[in-house]
Amino acid sequence: MSAARALSTGLAPGRRFDAIIPFVVLASVLMLVVPLPAMLIDLLMIISIASGVVIMMLTMYIRKALDFSIFPSLILFTTLFRLFLNVATTRSILSKGEAGHVVDTFAHFVTGGNAVVGLVIFIIIVIVNFVVITHGAQRIGEVAARFTLDALPGKQLSVDADLNAGIITEQEARARRKELEQEAEYFGAMDGAGRFVQRDAMAGIILILVNIGAGFVIGMMQLGMEAGEALKHFTQLTVGDGLVANIPAILISTATGIMVTKAASEDTVGTAIVRQLTSQWRALAISAGFMFFISLVPGMPKLLLWGVSAGLAYVALMQKRSEEGGGELAEASAAAGAGAAPAGPGAAAPASPGAPADAALSPEQRAKENLKQLLSVDLLELEIGYGLIPLVDASQGGDLLERINNLRKQVAISLGFIVPPLRIRDNITLRPGEYNLKIKGSVVARGELLMDRYLAMNPMGEEASLEGVKVREPAFGIDAWWITPDQRARAEMAGFTVVDSATVLTTHVTELIRNHAHELLTRQAVQELLDLLKERMPALVSELIPDRLGAGDVQRVLQLLLKEKVSIRNLGLILETLSDYAPTSRDPEVLGEYVRLALGRQIVADYADPEGGLTVITLDPRIEERVAGSLQTTTTGVIPVLPPPYLSKLVENSTKLVQQAAAMGLTPVFLVSPRIRPYLRKLLEKLFKGVVVLSYGEIAGEVELKTLGTVENPDAKPA
């Protein structure tokens, strides 16, 4: 009811005045041709003064220029109204020798009955209005319009950046773009409207000359007045008319100046003046001392100066106490929030101490910060369609952020480094359920979810089918079906694994991180790991870095390990090995092989069965000899270059054993000699996804080897 009442009270008057305003404008035009009685002229004079007062007061209390967007049109209407009223009063003065009580009061009471004084006051008012107020407002309007239009592209980029960053919604982005367009149109209109005010002041000067000259002639020739009497009478009436017309004119000129300077602050004019003038207590204290010093000059009004000095000193004292109290409050708030951390990987990082709050930044500074954000590329990013927003919105029951946070903890334990935060953005160009996973700004994986369904998969890979939408599971590429909730129980009873959309997405992110961990290990991340290890093993880190290897060399070795899903959590052992062999070689691949030998027990444990056994695929020794003899150095490192027929036959022979291992639910593990392991892996990883290549030196003595088969030599002749 209250909302309906508010709408009715706010819109009904608008509908009624919608028909009245055009009628009033047309009626004002009649003042040019229809003589008006003195009483109606008085009413119109009062309306003119009241409109000027109301408009200027409104400009003092609005917070944004667009809150009074009709102001340029009001300038036009009020200027035309005053000019038409000037014509009506001129007709009345010249034809009847009077123009109502308002003009007469200003002609005699305000000027003290002295036409010369009144004329001087009028000329001063017109000059001040024309030379100072209207000219300054017009110039500011021109500059504001130009800078507003120049800044428009940057502001629009800022809106797009905030939208892409997920800071604002699409509806908010549209509203902000609309506001930018309205702001540009407003300042453009104000640039033109300021010229109405300036020309109005010029018209006032011309009208007073015409009225005095014409009145002098009419008084002598038509009304039979003496020259002195005619000059005095019509000068007083003209001055009175000019003063009445210029009071609202100067008020609206002042309002124009306020409006075109309003963009620098979002507070009301009164609030901004008081707050900013009293913001620096030291300046107020110095001013108070200066005023007291002036009071010591002989002849100065000491009591008045002492009163002003005391007032400034009091305000300075109050402001100082306020700042001290605010500083204590800020320190307490900082202490209370020091332990706070972002709720999830997509949360914003806390501001650094001493950094200005975003609300305190000027529009130009905010635009610059947003442009800087456009230049940055996130290491790990998730783009989602608008239909997936409930997954990340806690108010709608979404727990994806919490899942990603837990995922980062698990990866830190299993791989040994901290995964960078996952930046989550909504992308309106994607389909509602679609998502993209990006690394360093490039899409590396994508998928699509059905929020109202569950994904059913057969983990054994057997031939099976369900009623639903058949797809490929995004993380592992197996057949899957999107089924309705009422089919879930039946699918689970049939042996299918059934998961919700959030689990599908989390699993996909997990596999992406594991498969691309080497790309996510930046040099900065390596340096942070070294700094952390240095707190526990300072001698080890100091011995290796920077005398034997640099942080970049260590990074390349760690990336090689992560690329083969070898955990680098045991960083101390890794650095010890690097320190031992760095004097003999700085080749990352060679150093990586030495590290793998040291981590052999850890590496094998990831692929061993519960009894500690390891099922492997071996190569015919002649294959190893052929691979070792085909090594060539290229821009991408050392790789084996085999003849196509030989390579084709090698792939054919290996595929049989790889498929056999997969059918048994095992990871295909090739066991080769240490000298060709890194080079053969480069060849096999392009042929078989997820293949593992180990060397004999990595196998500890207690591991029981089980040979699944040996890859036959492609050159061998069939028996």
Query: Which DSSP string corresponds to 299-331?
Result: TS-HHHHHHHHHHHHHHHHHHHHHHHHHHHHHH
Cis before residue 546, ω within 30 degrees of 0? yes
d(CA 595, CA 505): 34
The residue type of 407 is L
CB of 505 within 8 A of CB of 362? no
CB of 256 within 8 A of CB of 195? no
Give the number of C-alpha atoms closer than 13 A to the C-alpha of residue 320, restricted to the C-beta side: 11
CB of 437 within 8 A of CB of 443? yes
- At residue 290, the pLDDT reads 84
Q: Which helix (H) or strand (E) holds 344?
A: none
- At residue 353, the pLDDT reads 37
CB atoms < 10 A from the CB of 520, how many?
A: 21
Q: Kindly give, in sequence order, each residue whose CB lies less than 8 Å from that of residue 439, ignoring residues fewer than 6 positions away.
A: 379, 380, 381, 512, 516, 519, 520
CB of 406 within 8 A of CB of 414? no
The residue type of 300 is M
CA 487 to chain centre: 43
- At residue 350, the pLDDT reads 36
Residues in the chain where the model's pLDDT stays below 70: 1-21, 23, 32, 65-66, 97, 107, 109-115, 118-119, 129-168, 183-205, 208-209, 211-212, 215-216, 219-232, 260-270, 272-273, 323-375, 459-465, 716-719
Structurally, what CATH architecture does the domain formed by 399-518 represent?
3-Layer(aba) Sandwich (3.40)
The residue type of 91 is R
- At residue 651, the pLDDT reads 87
Q: Mind listing the pLDDT tens digit for each residue in 273-308?
A: 677 777 787 888 888 888 888 888 887 888 887 888
Structurally, what CATH architecture does the domain formed by 605-719 represent?
3-Layer(aba) Sandwich (3.40)
d(CA 272, CA 266): 8
d(CA 54, CA 71): 12
Angle between helices 115-127 and 227-260 (to 10 degrees): 30
d(CA 316, CA 286): 9
Residue 55: name the closest of 77, 74, 73 by CA: 74
CB of 240 within 8 A of CB of 103? yes
Q: Mind listing the pLDDT tens digit for each residue in 339-377?
A: 333 333 333 333 333 344 444 555 566 655 655 666 677
Q: Which helix (H) or strand (E) holds 614?
A: strand 613-619
E strand segments, 99-159: none
d(CA 532, CA 538): 10
d(CA 360, CA 560): 46
Query: Phi, psi (5° rounding) for residue 670?
Result: -95, 135
The residue type of 84 is F
- At residue 141, the pLDDT reads 60
Written as six digits, the tokens of 646 are 């030989």
Residue 592 to residues 504, 547, 637, 685, Cα–Cα distance (Å): 34, 19, 14, 17
Structurally, what CATH architecture does the domain formed by 526-598 represent?
Orthogonal Bundle (1.10)
CA 515 to chain centre: 31
Query: Phi, psi (5° rounding) for residue 249?
Result: -65, -45
- At residue 504, the pLDDT reads 92
Residue position matching structure tokens 């066991």: 671
- Angle (CA) 448 453 457, round 5°: 75
The structure's pTM equals: 0.51
In this structure, what DSSP letter does residue 710 have?
E
Written as six digits, the tokens of 72 are 């340029």
Written as six digits, the tokens of 706 are 């089980």
Residue position matching structure tokens 């009164």: 270
Residue 591: name the closest of 621, 552, 618 by CA: 552
